[in-house]
Every structure is written in structure tokens, then in C-alpha cells.
Amino acid sequence: MTAPPSPRWLWGALGVIAAAYFASFAFYPGLFTLLGVNHYGVWFLDSFAILASNDALARGLDPYVPNALDYFNRPHVYSHWWLGLGKLGLTRADNFWLGLSLVIAFFAAAVAWLRPREPRELLWYLAIFCSSPILLAINRANNDLVVFVLLAPVVPLLLHAGRWVRLGAVFLIAVAAGLKFYPAIAGLVLLTGDDAREGRGRVLIAVVALAVVGANLRPDLAQFGGLAPRAEGLMTFGARNLLEPLGFSGWRATALGLGCAAVVVAAFLRSRRFAGWEIAPGDRADWLAFTLGAALLAGCFFTGTNYAYRFVFALWLAPLLWRLPRDARAPAAVRRLAALTGGLMLYTLWADGVASAALARFHGHVPADTLVRWADRFFLLEQPLVWAFFCCLLGFLAHFARGGLLGRPG
């Protein structure tokens, strides 16, 4: 019988295949249409927008109004921390090498984390890595890639033997929150460890650090809602995508989304699904990375709407969702929930891209308003499956939080 490929060989295959896949879009931009991604004929549009804001500031212009220096006249919609890039001498002329460097850093961090142990696991990782949302993030060099790279050391830091080294994770989360606000929810992962007192202490320190960051960003937070573009339609996700068609909008939709999340968490806490289960010591890193990614994604989902490139954090979910359904030591209910979560994640990552690509084939043959109607109908019909995916994530997050508060390994 032929010996199975070594993990090192599989790890190398993952890097080579994924690199060749993404490089093919540089040589054949027409491939973007097959994945439902609009390339617009320009690489790294989102890093360009940030540099354009810095260029506007350097010219004495207000970066928080529509910016003629950007391809789409976008105002600056992030924290003022990003406006320090101009002080480093960076301009729009640096966009290509800066965007490419960011993509390479993200790619290296992702491949370093995803270490397949068998060929089927390699295929699973490729199905996640090569999905439309990841391609969208790379195509635009979106600054969610910066958050991914910045938070990538959080799990290794939390698993370090040194107590003071573990506090480094607090610093990274605070800096990430200063760049894009939403990473503050990643503080949940700080509850990990055998010592509940230490975990609660880390969270308290994080609250103080985030309060300091929040005070610094108060002017940005005050105007963010009016400047941020509305994410809607295919290649977006969020609780509001279902709640608004049902007649809820604004703060009511946000409150209802958070209320639904609280009900789901309470239901999981009362259930016996996770009774007696603790993550195996050898899978602890996968469990923490899963928690980190799940907290970021679920926090974004239940508080608003988001563009699909935020699914880059799904890469941190992939190892556990592959291994847990096959772990005979875990209760059957936990294995089934993990398998369901993995299947729903795969659907969520690919459905909109496939639908967009399919609808693009009818362009020029079917009236535009008809295509829009088809897209809106598909988008609405898929929302229950998307909600199901995020509700599954809440189940695992509830179990993690309960274990962290009680001092169980997490």
C-alpha cells in the first residue's frame, strides 16, 4: 500500500496550489467573473482609497468628504490612525507594492496556520481559501487583511508559558480595534486558560485598553455611521439582511439582531449538547483560533451588515471544523454540530459568488431590472441558511465563554 503523503508535503502543496490559483487572476483577469467578483480593471482598490485619503490630507483637503483623488470618490471611513501613512511618505504611487506586500503577508499568515494532515483536509482548506470572499479581499487589498495579520499572533501568545507574554495578546487586540473598531469583540478569546482569575484579569485589562482606544477614536466613532458605505445585496452578510425585509431598520434592527443572538446563546447554555466535552490538549490552538474567528464574524453579523471580504477570518475556523467531526473522543452531538457548521460555512462562502457568476452569464440577454430582481430573491431566500451558520457559531462561543469563566481549559 502506498504511504500517505507527509504533512510537510501537504503543507507545501497547499501553498503552491493556492499561490498558483491567485496568481492566475493576475494573468487572466477575466477569471474574476467566474467567481462572481467585480475586478473593475484595477488592483488593490481599498488600499488605494486609504492612500488617497492621506494624499487629500497632505493637500489640505478634508479626507472625510467625497474624495476626488480616489477612483470612486470615497471619503475616509476608518479611524484617523490610518491617516498617519502619509507621514511615512506613502502616497497613491506606492499602492501597488503596498497592496502586494499586504497580500503576501496575509497569504503567508494563512498558509502558516493551515497545516493539512491528509489529502482530504488539503481539499477542505483549498475550498475555503479559494472562495470568492477571500479572492475579493485579496483583489482589493482590503484592510481586513491588516487585521488578520495583526491578530494572527494572538493564539500563539495566549499559549505561551510566560504570563507576561500572554498579555501581548491584549495589546494586539487593542491596536486592531483602533484600526477598525470591530476587533474589540476578539477580547472574548482572552478568557482562555486553566486559571479563570488570570483570564478575567486579561479581559479587565483589555476593557481598560479598549476604553483608552475608544476615547482616542471618539470623533471617528461619532461620524463613522454617516460615512460608512452600506453593505447590501450579494457578497455581503449581516443580520439586517433578513430583518430589514421583515420591516425592521436602524437601531431596531440592531437591537433585534443582538436580542436574537442573546436568545440563541441562552438556549445553548441551557442545553446539554456540550455536557462533559472539553477540547483535547492537542487541539487547543485550533479551538482558540476558531473562537477568535467566530467571535469576529458573529459580532459583525449580529450588529450590522458587512462586505464579504470579512470572511477572511473563516480561515481560522477551518482546522477545527475539519477535525472535530472526526474526533471520536467528542460527544456525538458536538461532532454533528461541527459538521453542520462546516457545511453551512462552505455554503455561505460560495453561494453568493456562484450566484453572481451565474447571473453575469445572462447580462445583455435579460433586462437589468430582471437580473436585480433575481439576485434580490436569491439573496433573501438564502438568509435562513446564513443565520443558521452564525447561530451554530454562537453555540461554540457560549461553550467557550462558560468554560473560561469557570476556569476550564479553553
For the stretch 118-174, pLDDT in tens is 999 999 999 999 999 999 999 999 999 999 999 999 999 999 888 888 899 999 999
409 pLDDT higher than 60: no
- CA 350 to chain centroid: 15
pLDDT band at 361 (very low <50, low <70, confident <90, very high): confident
Q: What are the C-alpha distances in Å from 31 to residues 24, 44, 347?
A: 8, 17, 21
pLDDT of residue 102: 97
pTM of the model: 0.93
pLDDT of residue 410: 52
Listed residue (383, 353, 397) closest to 257, CA to CA: 383
pLDDT band at 221 (very low <50, low <70, confident <90, very high): confident
- Helix, strand, coil fractions of the chain, as percent rounded to 5: 70, 0, 25
Q: What are the C-alpha distances in Å from 219 to residues 144, 223, 225?
A: 21, 7, 11
Compute φ and ψ for 236, nearest 5 degrees. Answer: -135, 165
Q: What are the C-alpha distances in Å from 136 to residues 37, 133, 150, 217?
A: 6, 5, 19, 28
Handedness of CA 133, 139, 144, 148 (dihedral sign): positive
pLDDT of residue 178: 94
Instruction: Report, as an integer, the average pLDDT of 80-85.
Output: 93
pLDDT of residue 406: 63
Cα distance between residue 190 and residue 400, in whole Å: 11
Residues 154, 186 contacting (CB under 8 angstroms): yes
Neighbours of 248 (CB within 10 A): 17
pLDDT band at 1 (very low <50, low <70, confident <90, very high): very low
Residues 288, 189 contacting (CB under 8 angstroms): yes
| SS3 (DSSP) at 30 | coil
pLDDT of residue 226: 63
Higher-pLDDT residue of 333 and 221 is 333
pLDDT of residue 2: 47
pLDDT of residue 274: 87
Rounded to the nearest 10 degrees, how much is the dihedral formed by the CA atoms of 161, 188, 185, 380? 130
For residue 57, the surrounding DSSP H or E stretch is: helix 45-58
pLDDT digits (tens, 9 = 90+) for 223-268: 766 667 777 889 999 999 999 998 888 889 899 999 999 999 999 9
pLDDT of residue 405: 66
Q: Per mean pLDDT, which of 2-11, 62-71, 267-276, 365-374 is the most reliable?
A: 62-71
| SS3 (DSSP) at 323 | helix
pLDDT digits (tens, 9 = 90+) for 291-330: 999 999 999 999 989 999 999 999 999 999 999 999 989 9
88-110 CB burial, b ≥16 within 10 A, e <16: eebbbebbeebbbebbebbbebb
Cα distance between residue 340 and residue 239, in whole Å: 20
Cα distance between residue 317 and residue 135, in whole Å: 17
Q: Is 30 left (phi over 0), alpha (psi -120 to 50) or beta?
A: alpha
Cα distance between residue 259 and residue 355, in whole Å: 31
Q: Is 89 left (phi over 0), alpha (psi -120 to 50) or beta?
A: left
For residue 237, the surrounding DSSP H or E stretch is: strand 236-238
Cα distance between residue 348 and residue 133, in whole Å: 10
209 pLDDT higher than 80: yes
* Single-letter code of the amino acid located at 328: A
Q: What are the C-alpha distances in Å from 403 to residues 198, 230, 276?
A: 13, 37, 11
